[in-house]
């Protein structure tokens, strides 16, 4: 039979280990400060304002564990550092080194051989490589760049640079029609999360004559199954919930259209050989 201890005794036993741990943790600092000569010598060699950032950086490096995840695009890979990447659920995409000047991390990643595109999601970084590049050779450099950046404490996007904003494309405005409001809400709540799971994102470009125009970003931009994603996934969902939608088309920037034309020329040339 178990004998119940008085409540006062139980509380004392529960508190005892905690007091022991706190004493053990504080003891070294007390011992160091008690020796004024040793403490003054350390302060002269390394001021306190220099100690704190180094301690934070070392702790950040020790605790960061970067995971990777594949995407439908074999040339794109998700890197998840376990911390927030972009604030407020925003995203940012960089397609070349010049475009990446507004982001210290993107700039550092473009210095790695084989990197063709960088995409920042809420809690992940998607790297798109050249077709000839090998992931096994690139991964160590990518890991190092991400770890060094987060240990530095720098902002991921420089103030005032492109990409430092929430999803303004799906922000509902007063002059939006009821149909457009429904489209934006579906894109933001139902479609965007699944696209981001694949390491990419979508950008709403307009609705006209029943056609929704979307721009694919990140891993989805150059994915072979991007057309399937638009037609079988996004288009079917929008048409189901919004009867006014008759089709979904991919929108291209000027540089994207040039790349697409060059790709089609190359494809025709290979077929004629």
Q: What's the first-to-final CA gap in the chain, in angstroms?
A: 90
Indicate whether 21 belongs to any domain: no
Final residue in a domain of this structure, among 120, 152, 184: 152
Q: What domain count does the chain have?
A: 2
- State the CATH number of the domain containing residue 189: 3.30.300.130
Provide the whole-model pTM: 0.66
Question: What pLDDT, on a 0 to 100 scale, did the predictor assign at position 134?
Answer: 95
Angle at 86 between CA 84 and CA 89, to 5 degrees: 95
Indicate whether 40 belongs to any domain: no
Same domain, 182 and 240: yes
Average pLDDT for runs of 10 along the chain of length 273: 44 38 35 44 47 46 79 93 87 89 94 95 94 94 95 84 58 90 92 89 92 89 72 88 93 60 60 69
Same domain, 143 and 185: no
Same domain, 197 and 234: yes
- State the CATH number of the domain containing residue 72: 3.30.1370.70
Task: Outline where the chain has alpha helix (H).
Answer: 7-34, 36-45, 48-63, 104-109, 135-152, 178-186, 192-197, 226-228, 236-241, 254-272
Please state, in angstroms and rounded to a whole number, the distance separating the CA atoms of residues 121 and 105: 13
Please state, in angstroms and rounded to a whole number, the distance separating the CA atoms of residues 92 and 233: 23
Same domain, 85 and 124: yes
Same domain, 135 and 185: no
- Residue 113 belongs to domain spanning: 67-152
Indicate whether 102 belongs to any domain: yes
How many Cβ atoms from other residues are within 10 Å of residue 241's Cβ? 13
Same domain, 143 and 236: no
Indicate whether 19 belongs to any domain: no
Same domain, 71 and 142: yes
Final residue in a domain of this structure, among 92, 118, 152: 152
Indicate whether 188 belongs to any domain: yes
* Secondary structure of residue 112 in the 3-state scheme: coil
Question: What pLDDT, on a 0 to 100 scale, did the predictor assign at position 88?
Answer: 76
Same domain, 101 and 177: no
Indicate whether 229 belongs to any domain: yes
Question: What pLDDT, on a 0 to 100 scale, did the predictor assign at position 252?
Answer: 76
How many Cβ atoms from other residues are within 10 Å of residue 120's Cβ? 23
Sign of CA dihedral 113, 117, 120, 125: negative
Question: What pLDDT, on a 0 to 100 scale, did the predictor assign at position 140?
Answer: 95
Backbone φ and ψ of 78, nearest 5°: -90, 130
Same domain, 224 and 261: yes
Indicate whether 71 belongs to any domain: yes
Final residue in a domain of this structure, among 97, 118, 152: 152
Per-residue pLDDT tens over the stretch 164-174: 444 578 888 88
Same domain, 184 and 219: yes
Question: What pLDDT, on a 0 to 100 scale, did the predictor assign at position 61?
Answer: 47
Same domain, 252 and 176: yes
Question: What pLDDT, on a 0 to 100 scale, did the predictor assign at position 251?
Answer: 85
Own/partner long-range contacts of 83-86 (Cβ < 8 Å, ≥24 apart):
83/123, 83/150, 84/122, 84/123, 85/120, 85/121, 85/122, 85/123, 85/124, 85/125, 85/156, 86/120, 86/121, 86/122, 86/156, 86/157
Indicate whether 239 belongs to any domain: yes
* Secondary structure of residue 100 in the 3-state scheme: helix
Same domain, 99 and 189: no
């Amino acid at each position: 039979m178990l004998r119940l201890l008085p409540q006062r005794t139980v509380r004392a036993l529960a508190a005892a280990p905690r007091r022991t741990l706190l004493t053990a943790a504080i003891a070294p600092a007390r011992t160091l400060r008690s020796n004024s000569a040793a403490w003054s010598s350390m302060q002269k060699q390394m001021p306190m304002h220099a100690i704190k950032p180094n301690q934070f950086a070392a702790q950040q490096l020790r605790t960061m564990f970067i995971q990777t995840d594949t995407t439908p695009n074999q040339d794109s890979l998700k890197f998840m550092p376990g911390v927030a990447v972009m604030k407020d659920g925003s995203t940012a995409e960089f397609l070349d080194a010049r475009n990446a000047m507004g982001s210290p991390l993107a700039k550092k990643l473009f210095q790695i051989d084989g990197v063709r595109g960088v995409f920042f999601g809420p809690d992940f970084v998607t790297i798109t490589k050249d077709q000839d590049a090998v992931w096994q050779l690139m991964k160590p450099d990518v890991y190092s760049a991400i770890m060094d950046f987060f240990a530095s404490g720098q902002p991921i996007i420089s103030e005032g640079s492109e990409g430092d904003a929430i999803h303004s494309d799906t922000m509902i405005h007063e002059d939006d029609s009821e149909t457009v409001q429904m489209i934006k809400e579906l894109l933001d709540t139902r479609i965007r999360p699944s696209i981001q799971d694949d390491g990419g994102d979508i950008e709403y470009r307009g609705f006209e004559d029943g056609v929704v125009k979307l721009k694919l970003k990140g891993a989805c931009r150059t994915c072979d199954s991007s057309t399937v994603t638009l037609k079988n996934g996004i288009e079917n969902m929008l048409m189901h919930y919004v009867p006014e939608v008759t089709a979904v088309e991919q929108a291209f920037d000027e540089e994207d259209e040039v790349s697409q034309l060059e790709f089609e020329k190359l494809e025709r040339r290979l077929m004629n050989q």
